[in-house]
A and B are shown apart, each in its own frame.
Chain A
Amino acid sequence: MRESPVWAVVALPFALALLVYAAAALDAVLAGGGFRDPLYEGVRLLVQQRRRTLAPDRLLTRIGVVALPLAAVLGAVVVPLGGRAVADLTVGVVWFNAMEVVVWGAVWLAGWGANSAYGLVGGYRFVAQGLAYELPHMFALITAALGAGSLRVDEIAHAQGGLWFAVWMPVAFAVYLLSAVAMAFWGPLGHPAGNDLAGGAAVELTGPDRLVFLAGRYLLLVVAAAMAVPLFLGGDGGPLLPGWLWTLLKTGAVLAVLVWSRQWLPALRMDRFMTAAWTVLIPATLLQMLVVGIVVLD
């Protein structure tokens, strides 16, 4: 691990908070509301009483609710969002992957713990979704690492001096974006928290619990978008502007696309998507990896 300057530690929470608010506000505006809606909604949930269901497992529900933003923040420490990563691990990519898998547990617990049939089904759905997106997602991550010959996020970013990985690994980039919305169970891959289940895994969350859970989901979306920048979009590289600003701008652009995807597509159900993920996406990412491997060996 390399030592990071103190300002990277200070900058990260600010950058995350800013982007989370921007994502929530953009979603509200796209849905016909105003850009101050997340603020109103946040206060509303803060002052709302909690309600209880019959025979819940409150401890596990709380653990699930809190684990969601926690996993996102822990994943964010390897992302150079404020210019430099807070902890530039030698295996940053694997760490990010591991933290994102913690979300499986978080969502499942939150859905299961309320003892509600809808929440339970929502929890199931997320595990099924995880099994569908995880392998293509891993292959996409490894492809970027292979291109740079390193698992360190910083080195991957700086291996793209000439050409962004997004340009010559388009399949891996597309799969990464898809899995970014999948890990945040957002928009087209938001079936675990779908409207057909009246909110799915989050159906019984009230008050501060719901606030933390929803904020955690936006946080995941932000971290996933921020990770796309060093992996595929050349990190902080760019003309004229300072590096940190480029990082922020690129992250914002990816984030906007992810948030907007909710307007673009209906929810993809896993009983259909699973087949496509395993028979199309996995071979496609493997082929992409083969191509990248050959180029790198050359």
Chain B
Amino acid sequence: MIINRRALLATAAASATLPAMRARAQGANLKIGVLTDLSGPYKDLAGPQAIQCVYQAMEDAGISGKGMTVDVISADHQNKPDVGAGVARQWFDREGVDIIVEVANSGVALAVAGVAKEKNKVYINSGAATSDLTGGQCNANTIHWAYDTYMLAKSTGGALAKAGGDSWFFITADYAFGKALQRDTTGFIEANKGKVTGSIAYPFPGTTDFSSMLLQAQSSGAKVLGIANAGTDTINTIKQAKEFGVTMTLAGLLLFLSDVHALGLETAQGIVLTDSFYWDHNDKTRAFSARLAKKFPSARPTMVHAGVYSSVLHYLKVAAQAGVPAMKGSGTDVVAKLKAMPTDDDAFGPGSIRIDGRKIHPTYLRRIKKPSESKGPWDYCATISSLPADEAFRPLAEDGCPLVKS
């Protein structure tokens, strides 16, 4: 027993010193940290496929021929801001991570943006939606890539409000993302002379039963049900709305391809959604999706995946031009370089990054097809209309971002 106990203590003592032995690799290489949801409600719309997209971007950037190596590490933020901020801090401090990408959860994303600013590193968000990242809480170390709540609200919310949806009821995930989405959508409803008759915010994550909220929404008499949540929460809300025979117009304010796949066309048909990337949009998006499908055959990419791919590709292009030492320097300088170069890739086409950190590109309003219209697997959406890049996102003047001067 004595020896056992000593051995136990020795192990405990030795293990406490282990972090020190971990080599701090700081050669001529860059390190990308993918902080994502690997176990929760956003696993399918981001998760493992987002990590795969980083590798795809490295391959397409042809980094091996450009005298640099890129390491990738990943972690699960568990949708907890403290976990995400802790991992980010540790990555910047100990692992020599130069840039964090993805972070599908607005609460976590805002925390990570704060850490990136404090440590003067780079953070390119694709998964989180809140428009506050480029608004009141913007900083010079953060870029927001694929989409945001303002753009969703303008496109889906605006379209439904114009089509006669003048009274709304919201079911909202009670954290940064849900609140931002409801706030931004409400702005467009009211601009179209509509009104919000009520809303329920539910605890996130962990809520799976939406029935009481749906019944309350139905009895409110509102015409449109604004679903201000994402991932499996949206899937559950829509499925349960169908089961309960909710007759309101369902406004899936943020609906990803992975959600449509999980719902099935039978349930989801007719719903309109907004995105900035759809795999079957044009030849280039199809080519990108086909390349990715070789490594990740089970699902087509969502706009989050495309955003991760596109942002890492852009970062590596800038890195090839500026050289690795410059990319390891001040994060604000790196972000300034990223903003200076126009973006172009297969997923989003040509675009640019604004001063507030908002990456802009065209957005599309799409309708989910009827089962009879779908020609094959993953053929889910038909395009209704589009908005050009400079109209789709929140104007700089309305940002409230301190980086935008007068």
Whether both chains belong to one complex is answered with no
Interface positions of B (Cβ within 8 A of A): none
Interface positions of A (Cβ within 8 A of B): none
